[in-house]
Structure 1
Amino acid sequence: MVKRGARGGGQIAAATRAGVFAVADIGSNSIHLLVAVSDGVRQETILDESLPSELGRLVERHGEIGSRAAREVGAVIRGFADRAQRLGAMQLSVVATEPLRRASDRKEALRAIADASGQTPSVLSHEEEGLLTVLGLLHGHDHSRRLIVADIGGGSTEVVLLHPDQDPRTFGVSIGSARLLARIDYADPPRPRDWHELRRAAQVALVDIPRQPRGRLVLVGGIATRLLKLVPSTMLTREILREDLAAMGEQLARNPAKEIAEQHGISPRRARLLPAGIAIIEALLHQTGADELVVDHGGIREGLIIASARRGSSWRGQLTELVGESRLAGA
């Protein structure tokens, strides 16, 4: 069992016999469950589902999650664990991202989740989240050139810079699609002044990301994959040209979220976040100087499947090594 890179020259052997692994990801907008079979190199999805979450909104407005919401999250995780077990997973790995990083009542919320579910989530740092995202990329990428991997979430954006022969550099920015919507509270559809405010806020948030001229910007996450639906041809290539991005923005400027949702098979709740996502993507392109933009359908959960298969419960201390192995295979 091997995984071949974008150029076909590298490979890494499977770390273990194939098994069924399950991960749950507690985020700002949703709580995800992924169950997959993996040998530590390859993976195939058995189940991928999510439920909406208001954790990002709660933390943005009140600074905390609260006991009621935490118990509700625990009930969701308990249901996920039962589902994963029925599908053959030996255990469920649970991680949490931006809302649990920021919540003033994090300890209390984690305790309430554990009491309700029997699972204590691991709260990921920005660096861990970024490295798991790189590890979870599903499509071949040329690691002989500069890569900028960006995961646009609801509450934060993780950016990982990958240069040949250098260790990854990770940046965590506390701006995401839902958080930007809460901050700007733009109209539906956004007015010209709303677009100006969105773009300005995104550019200010990303100002510390170093320039990466002639780099390839690789987007992961729901915002990126949903935007592809607005220009269907991009779903085949996974490449977004400047004119594609402009066409996406024009649709979002003309049509309210309900119409976007009906026309493109997106939930209205998700469609409402797309203008903020466009603004963050534009800011990433401007700030980094990348000259190519592609979307990868992998991400943090796929990375956690690989990490769990290769390193078991000790994956947290070995992410840089795991990413290094993966990059060598893709060289």
Structure 2
Amino acid sequence: MSTFTCCRAPKAVPDLSGNMSNMLKEKCKKWEQKYETVSDDLNFITFFQEMSPKIFAAIEIGSNAVRMIVGELRSSCRLCVLERWSAHLRLGDSVFESGEISEQLFQQLLQTIQGLLSKVHKYSDLKLSITATSAMRSAKNNAETAARIESIVGYPLKILSGTEECQCLADGVKSFLPPSMVLDYPLKQTFLADLGGGSLEISLLKSGKSPSCKNGDYQYSIDIGSLRLRKMVNPENELKSVITEKLLQLDEVLSANPQNRTNLILTGGNAKTFARLYPQVSANLRPENSSTVEAKNWLSMNWTEFECTEQIFQSQSEDEQIEQWKLRPQQTEVFNSALAVFRAIGSKLRTEQLCIPFFGLKESLLLSLVSVVTEKPMEDFTLVLIYGPPKKYKIGA
């Protein structure tokens, strides 16, 4: 809700509008440049919207890291990202083994949240959300943990269910990518797959003319993540088994038109790492008729090109990836496992075209927060990203 209530000056007070205009002109050159009078309700409201932009921040407590994104609503529909932060706190490493959040881990999490909150104290009129995903979902003491954090930091902590995470991601991606990349894509079916440290979310964004499944009917969250795969004895075989078992519902969708190929959208940190490295790796591999498109906000390619590039990464050790691609050790620990998940999903879905947007859950959470506060749908907003690595928050610093 706007800080100011705007209305026309009553006819009985003819000088009120002029006096207010003069007062504002003295205080703000911007007003003098753009507006001639405040008697126009629309101009008056627009002026105060521009002079009092809202700041929004979303903190995502993932299994692999804790992240924060900060955005500024500079007009009624333009949301500009100001800052991105990341803290290397792997809740999943402990929770997926012990089944709970220990007191030591809780204190680290609390310190991380408080540290990130200190980075946004400079903003006035801040709207902020704190959300947790797979690792917190899996912890036996998650309700107690959420209540303790809220009582200390003053913000509620929402633990997303798998279905809620699917829906948030699907809504965010559909609002971020142009329709030509999702709903208007020539292929009959478009799927979204988001891989985190603890879970894999798959949604059907476009079902084409399949009579068995409408858009949005298929949303599934599976307890497969890059951190969980590291703990498996034979991750390749276990992955195939789990994918086959958990995605049985997909068989009905895919068998309706067995000749159809699909469009797959991948999100998550490992997907973005692949997209960032792909131009370097594939420079000498692309065929002349390559379908790869390197846009500012996403990367699009033929599935065959993904498979060729993925094999190159799988042939390298962690040390080789650190040296050649400048990846951090915590990235190389899970990168090849994530690529194996992508390959298994793409094969299952008979993927023909792949799209990787530079967009993920934290951006979806930010858009969702703005949507709730402004009471407008996500698709009304244009998200303007910033590029480069996020700022690092060091726990204990």
Taking structure 2 as the reference length, what is the TM-score of the superposition? 0.67
Secondary structure, counterpart of 1:285 in structure 2: helix
Q: Report the count of equivalent residues.
A: 298
Asked if 1:277 is matched to 2:341, the reply is no
Which residue in 1 is equivalent to 2:231?
A: 182
Match of 1:29 among 48, 64, 75: 64
**In 2, Cα distance between equivalents of 1:265 and 1:135:** 33
Q: Work out the CA distance in 2 between the residues paired with 1:40 and 1:179.
A: 42
1:1-331 superposed matches below 5 A = 18-38=53-73, 41-88=77-124, 90-137=126-173, 138-140=176-178, 141-145=181-185, 146-163=189-206, 166-169=214-217, 170-184=219-233, 195-196=236-237, 198-210=239-251, 211-212=253-254, 213-232=260-279, 236=294, 238-312=299-373, 322=377
Q: Distance in 2 between matches of 1:117 and 1:257?
A: 38
- Judging changes above 3 Å, is the alpha-carbon distance between structure 1 residues 29 and 89 closer, same or farther for their aligned structure 2 residues? farther
Which whole-Å CA distance do the structure 2 matches of 1:229 and 1:247 have between them? 16
Query: How big is the shift at 1:198?
Result: 4.7
Q: Point out the more displaced range, 46-55 or 78-87.
A: 78-87
Bigger mean CA deviation after superposition, 25-34 or 297-306: 297-306
Q: Which amino acid aligns with 2:161?
A: S
Deviates more, 1:78-87 or 1:198-207: 198-207
Q: Contact conserved, 1:261 with 1:268, CA < 8 A, in 2?
A: yes
Q: Provide Cα deviations, 1:208-243, integer angstroms capped at 9, x if missing partner.
A: 445454321111111101112442266825124334
* 2:6 matched residue in structure 1: none
- Of 155-164 and 217-226, deviating more is 155-164
What amino acid is aligned across from residue 226 of structure 1 in structure 2? T
Shift in alpha-carbon separation, 1:42–1:158, aligned structure 2, 3 A: farther
What letter corresponds to residue 308 of structure 1 in structure 2?
Answer: L
Residue in structure 1 matched with residue 22 of structure 2 by the alignment: none
Cα distance in 1 for partners of 2:241, 2:293 equals 29
Task: For 1:273, give the aligned amino acid.
Answer: V
1:51-98 CA distance string (max 9 Å, x none):
112211112111111122122111211122221232446132000000
Could you say what secondary structure the match of 1:78 adopts?
helix
* CA drift at 1:266: 2.2
3-state SS, counterpart of residue 81 of structure 2: strand
Distance in 2 between residues matched to 1:214 and 1:53, nearest whole Å = 39
Contact preservation (8 Å) 1:143, 1:164: no
Question: Cα distance 1:253–1:136, how it changes in 2: closer, same or farther (>3 A)?
Answer: same
Structure 1 CA distance for aligned equivalents of residues 91 and 250 of structure 2: 27
The 2-side partners of 1:298 and 1:150 are apart by: 12
Look at both structures and tell me which one has the larger radius of gyration over its CA atoms: 2
Greater RCO, 1 or 2 (C-alpha within 8 Å, sep 6+): 1
Shift of 1:99: 0.9
The runs of 5 or more residues in structure 1 that have no matched partner are: 1-13, 187-193, 316-320, 327-331
1:280 to partner: Cα distance? 1.2
Secondary structure of the residue aligned to 1:239 is: strand
- Indicate how the Cα distance of structure 1 residues 42 and 205 shifts in structure 2: closer, same or farther if over 3 A, else same: farther
Verify the 8 A CA contact 1:132 1:299 in the aligned structure 2: no
| Stretches of structure 2 lacking an aligned partner (at least 5 in a row) | 1-45, 209-213, 255-259, 283-291, 381-397
Kindly report the root-mean-square deviation, in angstroms, between the aligned alpha carbons of the 2 structures.
2.9
2-structure distance, mates of 1:236, 1:87: 35
Distance apart, 1:24 and its partner CA: 0.2
Provide, for residues 169-206 of structure 1, a one-character-per-residue CA deviation record: whole Å limited to 9, x for no partner.
3111111111111224x7xxxxxxx6455545554454
Distance 1:111 1:142, change over 3 A: closer
The alpha carbon displacement at 1:155 in A equals 0.3
- Whole-Å Cα distance in 1 between the matches of residues 246 and 330 of structure 2? 24
| Deviations 1:28-60, CA, capped at 9 Å, x for gaps | 000000001235744221111211122111121
Mark the CA change 1:164 to 1:201 in structure 2 (over 3 Å): closer, same or farther: closer
CA distance in structure 2 between the aligned counterparts of 1:115 and 1:135, rounded to whole angstroms: 30
Once the two structures are aligned, what percentage of the paired residues are identical? Answer: 23
Structure 2 counterpart of 1:111, which letter?
A: A
Distance 1:55 1:178, change over 3 A: same
DSSP 3-state at the match of 2:294: helix
Alpha-carbon shift at residue 256 of structure 1 (Å)? 1.6
Q: More displaced, 73-82 or 207-216?
A: 207-216
The residue identity in structure 2 corresponding to 1:161 is L
